[in-house]
Structures are given as C-alpha cells and as structure tokens.
Structure 1
Amino acid sequence: MGTATVPAGRRPAGVVPARRRPVRPGRSPSARREARWAYLFLAPWLVGFLAFQAGPMIASAWLSLTEYDVINEPRFTGLDNYRQLTSDPQVARSLGNTVLYTLLHVPLVMVLSLGLALLLHRVGRFQGFFRTVFYLPVMTPAVAVGILFLLLLNTQDGLVNRGLALVGVDGPSWTTDPDWILPGIVLMSLWSLGSTVIIYLAALQNVPRDLYEAASIDGAGRWARFRTVTLPMISGALFFTLVVNTIASLQMFTEVYTMYFGNRETQNRFNSDAATFYVIHLFQEAFQFLHMGFASAMAWLLFVIILLITLVQMKLGNRFVYYEGDDR
C-alpha cells in the first residue's frame, strides 16, 4: 500500500496536538530587588498593625466571650456578655446619648463648615490667614478643650451665659441641667470644625469656573448655581466628611470625660448620666469596674454599629456622589 500524503497545514487524523504550557515570564532581578525593598519599608507598618491592631482585636474578641477582671484568669462564659448588653439599661442610655449627639453634631458641623468655606472662598488675599485661624483650634489638645469649655459653660461666671445676658437672654445651666448638657457638648464640638472647613475650601477651589459661566449663560441664579454646580462638584468632599465625622462622633470620649468625669468632685457636682457616652461607659466598665470581658463585648458592638452605618453610607454615596471621570 502506498503512503498517504497529508496536505500542508493539516494534521493527520487521530493525532491530538500537544498542549502547550503557558510561558510565565520570570521576574527580572530589578523587579525582585524592588519587591524586597517594598517589603522592607512595609515591615514597620505590618509589625505595628499586627502588634497594635490585629493582635488586640483578636484578643478583645476572645475576652468578649469570657469573664475577666485582670487579676484572675479569664473564665469562658460564651455569649453571656452579649446577652447582658441587651438588658443593661446603662448601655442603652449611653448608646442613645451617643446616637443623639451624632445626629446633632454631624449635620451642624457640615452646614457651618460649608458656610464658612464659602465665605473663605471669597476672601481673596487674606484667605491663607483665615485658613490658619480656623485650623488652629484643631491643634488644641482635647483635654484642654474640655477644661476650657467647662469654664465657658459655667452657669454663673461662664463667658457664654455672660454673652447671652448682654442681649437679654437668661442662659441655661449647661453643665447641670440634663436637658442642656447634650446641647452644650454639641456646642463644644464646634470648636474643632476647622479641619472640615479646610476640606470644603479645597473642594470649592477645584470646581471649574467654566461650569459657573455656562450656568450663568443659561440663566441660573446664585442659588441655582450652588444647587446644580457647587454641591454636585463637592459631593465627594461632603461624603468623606460625613463618614469621618460620623465615626468620630460615635467614638466621642476625651473632651466629655474631662468635663464631667475627670475627678470625683466634678462627677458628683454635675449630672453625669446625661453626659455618659458609649465609649465613656465602656471605659468605666473596663478600667473602673474591671469588667474587661463585658467591655470587650461593648467594643465589638460599637465596631459592628460603625461598620453597618458606614456600609449604608457607602451604598447611598454611590448614588449621590459625583466623581471626576464618572460616566454615570
């Protein structure tokens, strides 16, 4: 029999081509050297993260399942601490104070900061000076702020009530009346709005002037330009400060603790229940009553609350926030 001839470019019948192994290009010596340097520079952060963040979080998660008073060995109790969270009235009261403070503080800071940023945007040559003036209070230590406002909000001799008296208003008892303690704390928190003002000012300076000119040509007034041009273009900054200020408000501690819990005399003189925020109660459970397991459960509850609120904000932010280069 003769040998069959296979046309050029075709494989014989029944012959399966060998699978070629994909060629993986090796990393060049320079790339490997850069990777080693990257890991070397990241090492301090990684060590710090494991030692001061990941490690304590894992330890806190374990302690939240135990009864631990620092002196004796932890005793495993399961979910008892979390069950106690749902029945402790002080936890509910402190969480309610914290949430109410957040609902008052965050919108007020954002609105006032935006108004001040709009004014600074029109100042001109003195803008740098006023930026510094507004930001300086942010550098004030939180303990000093607490002591300062304890004096300013004093019922008899406080500067705030003296100023109200000049216009014929009888100032309230900011530090003793339970109905006015929380508004007084919100008033104190406005001291540090300078950082939010600077963020909004930077965002306003990045809004293209062409958009305002186009809106003016279309007949848009000042309010229409603010609503249709300014707000959408700075929505990223607004969203950022909303998230950051919400997280900070839910963890409010130092200033309030200094004012109302700094010493036993102050704590007995003022109504401290209205000023008991969640983190303050957590601190007391951990370091005053040595209920470390219960305090760890409180910390994880706060972590979950902040996580859920942030996730909701992120979900809503994707709908309303404009990002440069976004085609939506």
Structure 2
Amino acid sequence: MSALGELQRLGKAKGAPPRKRDNKAAFLFLLPWFAGLALITAGPVLVSLFLGFTDYNLIQDPKFTGLHNFQRMLHDERLHQALRVTFIYVFASVPLQLAAALGLALLLDRGMRGLAFYRSVFYLPSLLGSSVAIAVLWRQIFGAEGLVNQALELVGVHGRGWISDPSTALGTLVVLNVWTFGAPMIIFLAGLRQIPVMYYEAADVDGASTWTKFRKITLPLLSPIIFFNLVLQVIHAFQSFTQAFVVSGGSGGPSDSTLFYTLYLYQRGFSNFDMGYASALAWLLLLIIAAFTAVNFWAAKHWVFYDD
C-alpha cells in the first residue's frame, strides 16, 4: 500500500472530520463578519438606495419621487462644479503621488543606511494626511502669513494667500495629497525587492543604461504593483473630504474652487437636510468610482505584465 493510502486509512480509523465539517467550521468563524456586513453595511446601503428615490429631510417621512433627484442633477450647477473640481484633483494628484512614491522607492531600494528609519519617516504622512490636524497645519502653511510666504520673503518675493485665491486653492490640496505618498511607496518598495537581480545583471553584461533597465525591466515587472496602487489611490482621491472641509471651513471656497464631490454631498445632506438628494449623489459617486475602476481593469490588459 502506498504512503498516501496508508495516511488516508489511518485518518479514517481515527475519525478525521470530512471536508464538509471543515467548511462548516470556516463559515462558523466567518458568521460574525457576515452579520456585520448584513446589519452594519448592507442595511444602510440598501436604505440609501431607497432614499435616493425619495424626498426626505430627516424630519418628515420620506416621500417617493421616482427619478426626480437624478433629474435634478442635470441642472445642478454646484454639482457640475464639484465634479470638475474632483476630476481635476484626481487626475492631477494621483499621477504625481504615484510618481513621487515610485521615485522614493527606487532611491530607498539602493540599500542605504537607516532604511527602516527612512521608511517610517516617509510613511508617516500617509497616516496623518487625512487627519484634521494636518489639514489645519496645511492651512497655516499656505495662508497669507504662512511658512510658504515667509520663505518667499527671504528671496524678495511677495507671496499671496494661496488658500484664499481661487486659482491656487485647489493646487494646495493637490500638493497635500501628493505629500501622502508613504503608503504606495512602501508597496512599491516591496515590489522592487521581488524583482530578480539576475535580470539587471544580464542587462549590465549587455551594456544597458540605467534608463533602459528601468524601462525594460523595472517598469514591466513592477506594473502589477503600479496597477494596484493606481486603483487604490484613484478610489481614495474620489473619496477625499477632510482636507477640503477643513481648509475651506466647510464651504468649498473660495468661489467653490475646493468644492469636492464628497463635500457637496455633505452640504446637501447635513447642511440643507436634503437627505434624499444626498443619497442619490452618493450612488452617483459609487457609479463614477465603479466606472473608473472598470476602465482601469480593462486598460490593465494592455500594459500590466504578469510573469506567469
């Protein structure tokens, strides 16, 4: 009798549990998570979907209005402005953030001394970038009397109120998001450590330049990590709220130049008590994020390389 047959015979003799019992145990341990999904997540999501088709002000009972809330979106100028601001923020900050993260990861991958310290320092902004404290600090840095203008005064340049100027207010929030490059940088660094050294050694033998090795070896083998970071950071950028809320004082100003989509949603729901319309806006945001995610997955077939 083979060794495998002997092990199976001994397992049956000792009354080893069948695969179905293992599955039942797994589902038993997962039951709290499924209960939380049904009661805490799925329930409110379905309620918000229903409220999106109603007129609801948090005080009176919701009144079903059909597609009226979605029709209102076609003529809502502030919503259109919020979409413009959000798209500019996403398309400007995400590529710059990923470029900064990849550049720092390449630098740290060279094996410098104190690597653990530098990783911690560069990762710290990602932990604090969405906090109220950092948003308040950012407001002080780019204020009329902030650190940026004080530094410009040293070289004889008279600065402006970067946050109070509609032409530069959104740019300060883009810089803030780029500054929180720590999380994608750590992921990039882990991906770089997984690229086999033999590819670079073979390229050195062939006399390849640093740029050629980066373009022909690093980028293709790192493309799954780039794709992963891209999807996560696009979703995160569309959901940004705290920075714009704190910097603009909750108004989205000046002149709605920092009116993020999430901030406008908050204003409609909790300032104007138009919760039905706010629920419809939330579902529109879900569809926008889902569409961008689907496009990223479709485009990934043309540029993401999997070595298997």
Q: Normalized against structure 2, the TM-score is what?
A: 0.91
2:73 paired residue number = 85
Q: Mark the CA change 1:315 to 1:273 in structure 2 (over 3 Å): closer, same or farther.
A: same
The question of 1:150 aligning with 2:139 is answered yes
1:212 paired residue number = 200
**Are the aligned partners of 2:85 and 2:258 in contact in 1 as well (CA < 8 Å)?**
yes
1:22 paired residue number = none
- Deviation string 1:106-149 (CA, Å, 9 cap, x unpaired) is 01101111111111112433111100111122222611111110
- Deviation string 1:300-324 (CA, Å, 9 cap, x unpaired) is 1111111111101001112211123
2:217 paired residue number = 229
Q: Which runs of 5+ in 1 are unaligned?
A: 1-27
Aligned-partner residue type, residue 195 of structure 1: A
Alignment of 1:108-257 (within 5 A): 108-140=96-128, 142-156=131-145, 158-257=146-245
The question of 1:286 aligning with 2:269 is answered yes
| Structure 1 counterpart of 2:30, from 12, 33, 42 | 42
Q: Which runs of 5+ in 2 are unaligned?
A: 1-15
Q: Mark the CA change 1:261 to 1:124 in structure 2 (over 3 Å): closer, same or farther.
A: same
Superposition deviation, residue 272 in structure 1: 5.3
Write the distance in 2 (CA, Å) between the matches of 1:232 and 1:171.
43
Query: Which one has the largest radius of gyration?
Result: 1
- Deviation string 1:90-110 (CA, Å, 9 cap, x unpaired) is 000011100000011001101
Q: Mark the CA change 1:167 to 1:322 in structure 2 (over 3 Å): closer, same or farther.
A: farther
| Structure 2 counterpart of 1:320, from 293, 299, 303 | 303
Aligned length: 292
Aligned-partner residue type, residue 319 of structure 1: H
Superposition deviation, residue 273 in structure 1: 1.1
**Are the aligned partners of 1:203 and 1:234 in contact in 2 as well (CA < 8 Å)?**
yes
- SS of the aligned residue for 2:30 comes to helix
Write the distance in 2 (CA, Å) between the matches of 1:111 and 1:29.
52
- SS of the aligned residue for 1:273 comes to coil
Aligned-partner residue type, residue 179 of structure 1: S
| Structure 1 counterpart of 2:284, from 298, 301, 308 | 301
Aligned-partner residue type, residue 242 of structure 1: L
Deviates more, 1:99-108 or 1:271-280: 271-280
**Are the aligned partners of 2:101 and 2:184 in contact in 1 as well (CA < 8 Å)?**
yes
Q: Mark the CA change 1:169 to 1:205 in structure 2 (over 3 Å): closer, same or farther.
A: farther
Write the distance in 2 (CA, Å) between the matches of 1:217 and 1:102.
41
**Are the aligned partners of 2:51 and 2:279 in contact in 1 as well (CA < 8 Å)?**
yes
Q: Could you say what the CA RMSD is over the residues aligned between the two structures, in angstroms?
A: 1.6
Write the distance in 1 (CA, Å) between the matches of 2:167 and 2:37.
42
- Deviation string 1:16-73 (CA, Å, 9 cap, x unpaired) is xxxxxxxxxxxx8432332222111111111111122221111111111100011111
Give percent identity, aligned residues only.
40
**Are the aligned partners of 2:143 and 2:164 in contact in 1 as well (CA < 8 Å)?**
no
